[in-house]
Amino acid sequence: MIIKDVKTWVVGNPPPQTGGRYFIFVKLTTDGGVVGYGEAYNATFGPHVTAKMIEDVAARYLVGRDPHDIETFFRLCYSSGFTQRPDVSMMGCYSALEMACWDIIGKEAGKPVYKLLGGQVHEALRSYTYLYPKTGSVYPSDIGDTKNVYNDPDMAAEAALEAVEQGFNAVKFDPAGPYTIYSGHQPRLVDIELSAAMCKAVREAVGTRADILFGTHGQFTAAGAIRMAKAIEPYDPLWFEEPVPPDMPEVMAQVARATSIPVATGERLTTKYEFARIIENRSAGIIQPDLGRSGGILETKKIAAMAEAYHILVAPHCYCGPIVGAANAQLAATLPNFLILESIKTWDGFHETLLKKKLHWEDGKVIPSKEPGLGVELNEDVCDAHPWDGPMLHLEMTRQALFP
């Protein structure tokens, strides 16, 4: 069995664009007609450039080869162009192709991927949702100062209570102010005040029925993050996400030592080599690899095993499309140190439309599919009908510096 054909899509996500502005999918086909799907969580270049990069990587290192040979494929990509270092763009391309290979491997074996990775530890996977506005854009920058779930404690509390009543027992929000190309910075007093007020309102609304996940995006210096942590500690968040930029785990470790809130990080990291620095420096008690960037399924299994040895928990990240969501579920089902999955609401809306069969979400949990491979099939007609042609990247940072 060899890989014979590669096809990519850049699919525009209709408003409100929950999960990102677009999704980058890949389809591999073997000489025997078996199809596998993958997805890249890659935002450093325009998505059509990234799609071409995926095709280039496949042509160089995968077409004509057996998809079972994952280790060799990883080494070919990791060493491409005399690099042998974590490269977030290459690993985004590799991750998409690697999970498509696993989809094929599972289908050939007639087994879900989790059966090929040590077997199923969890029958159901706890999940959380962001708090999203009922109408309009999901991007705070588009809403501005208008009252919404990102800046109004009462609205956030109402949204959190609705999520809990829907079945979630963990909700996430990130009210800590803009994240800019000049971060880390010191939080403004207004940002600290709002963050504490949001945590207080949500905690009072949900009580102990749900965990609070406090999100930031590498906004702060260590000193600034510690100030923020002290303000929100009384509301007992389950985690303080990426309090400082991801490039210096040693600095993040300063925050982890100074707060009782578990630090979580990892959505911007790739390969075991970057996660090793987090683990060795005790920078976080929770890691958040995104399978569309971290190195795919097998590499992230290795990352999780490294974390397990240090009693660090795994909470797979997913602010992207449903193929990464399906891959996350397959991997998480095998992890003894699994904590919680990121869910895009209940996997309804456009995420449901993109698949021939919806990801199974029930009572706050994702139920891993027992179908062979990743357990989902991309609806190619929907992909063809929703091409992306916009100028913006999947996620972008504010370009202005902030002043108190």
Examine the domain organization and report whether 127 and 82 are in the same domain.
no
Contact between 305 and 338 (Cβ < 8 Å): no
Q: Looking at 89, 111, 133, which one is the last position of a domain? A: 111
DSSP summary character for residue 185: B
What is the pairing mode between strands 125-130 and 365-366? antiparallel
Single-letter residue type at 72: T
User: Is 314 inside any structural domain?
Assistant: yes
Pick from 128-132, 191-195, 231-235, 398-402: least confident: 398-402
Bigger pLDDT: 100 vs 143: 100
Q: What angle do CA 21, 24, 26 make, to 5 degrees?
A: 160
pLDDT of 397:
87
Structure tokens at 353: 């439309």
Q: What is the pLDDT of residues 337-371, one digit of tens each?
A: 999 999 999 999 999 999 999 999 999 999 999 99
Q: Domain limits at 10?
A: 3-111
pLDDT of 143:
65
pLDDT of 144:
67
Q: Which residues of 48-79 are buried (b: 16+ CB within 10 A; e: fewer)?
A: eebbebbbebbeebbeebbbeebeebbebbbe
Q: Looking at 83, 111, 139, which one is the last position of a domain? A: 111
Pick from 15-29, 135-149, 220-234, 262-276: least confident: 135-149
Distance (Å, whole) CA 270 – CA 305: 15
Examine the domain organization and report whether 240 and 286 are in the same domain.
yes
What percentage of residues in the chain have a pLDDT greater than 90?
92
Contact between 132 and 159 (Cβ < 8 Å): yes
pLDDT of 395:
87
Examine the domain organization and report whether 140 and 180 are in the same domain.
yes
C-alpha distances in Å from residue 336, one per residue of 125, 301, 377:
12, 11, 27
pLDDT at 312 over 70: yes
Examine the domain organization and report whether 91 and 103 are in the same domain.
yes
Examine the domain organization and report whether 265 and 329 are in the same domain.
yes
Packing angle, helices 222-232 and 189-206, rounded to 10: 40
User: Is 15 inside any structural domain?
Assistant: yes
pLDDT of 42:
86
pLDDT of 122:
98
User: Is 379 inside any structural domain?
Assistant: no
pLDDT of 403:
62
Examine the domain organization and report whether 150 and 198 are in the same domain.
yes
Q: How many whole angstroms from its chain centre is CA 174? A: 15
Examine the domain organization and report whether 264 and 347 are in the same domain.
yes
User: Is 383 inside any structural domain?
Assistant: no
pLDDT of 404:
52
Q: What is the pLDDT of residues 77-119, one digit of tens each?
A: 999 999 999 999 999 999 999 999 999 999 999 999 999 999 9
Examine the domain organization and report whether 293 and 161 are in the same domain.
yes
Alpha helices in 167-214 (DSSP H): 189-206
Among 174, 172, 175, 170, smallest CA distance to 211 is for: 170
Packing angle, helices 296-309 and 271-280, rounded to 10: 20
pLDDT of 401:
82
User: Is 403 inside any structural domain?
Assistant: no
Pick from 144-153, 238-247, 323-332, 334-343: least confident: 144-153
pLDDT of 140:
76
pLDDT of 313:
98
Pick from 76-90, 131-145, 298-312: least confident: 131-145
Structure tokens at 81: 């162009």
Pick from 110-119, 148-157, 185-194, 389-398: least confident: 389-398
User: Is 386 inside any structural domain?
Assistant: no
User: Is 399 inside any structural domain?
Assistant: no
**CATH number, domain containing residue 367:** 3.20.20.120
Mean pLDDT score of the chain: 96
What is the pairing mode between strands 125-130 and 341-342? parallel
Q: What are phi and psi of 240, to 5 degrees?
A: -115, 105
Single-letter residue type at 158: E
Q: Which residues of 324-359 are buried (b: 16+ CB within 10 A; e: fewer)?
A: bbbbbbbbbbbbebbbbbbbbbbbeebbbebbeeeb
Examine the domain organization and report whether 151 and 272 are in the same domain.
yes
Interval 170-190 mean pLDDT: 93
Q: What is the pLDDT of residues 20-42, one digit of tens each?
A: 999 999 999 999 999 999 999 98
Examine the domain organization and report whether 55 and 202 are in the same domain.
no
pLDDT at 334 over 70: yes
Interval 223-247 mean pLDDT: 98
User: Is 354 inside any structural domain?
Assistant: yes
What global pTM score does this model have?
0.96
pLDDT at 229 over 70: yes
Contact between 141 and 17 (Cβ < 8 Å): no
Domain count, the chain: 2
Examine the domain organization and report whether 165 and 268 are in the same domain.
yes
What's the first-to-final CA gap in the chain, in angstroms?
61
Distance (Å, whole) CA 343 – CA 363: 12
Q: Looking at 44, 77, 111, which one is the last position of a domain? A: 111
**CATH number, domain containing residue 7:** 3.30.390.10
Q: What is the pLDDT of residues 35-77, one digit of tens each?
A: 999 999 988 999 999 999 999 999 999 999 999 999 999 999 9
Helix/strand/coil (H, E, C) string of 285-302? CEECCCCCCCCHHHHHHH
Interval 124-134 mean pLDDT: 95
Examine the domain organization and report whether 359 and 220 are in the same domain.
yes
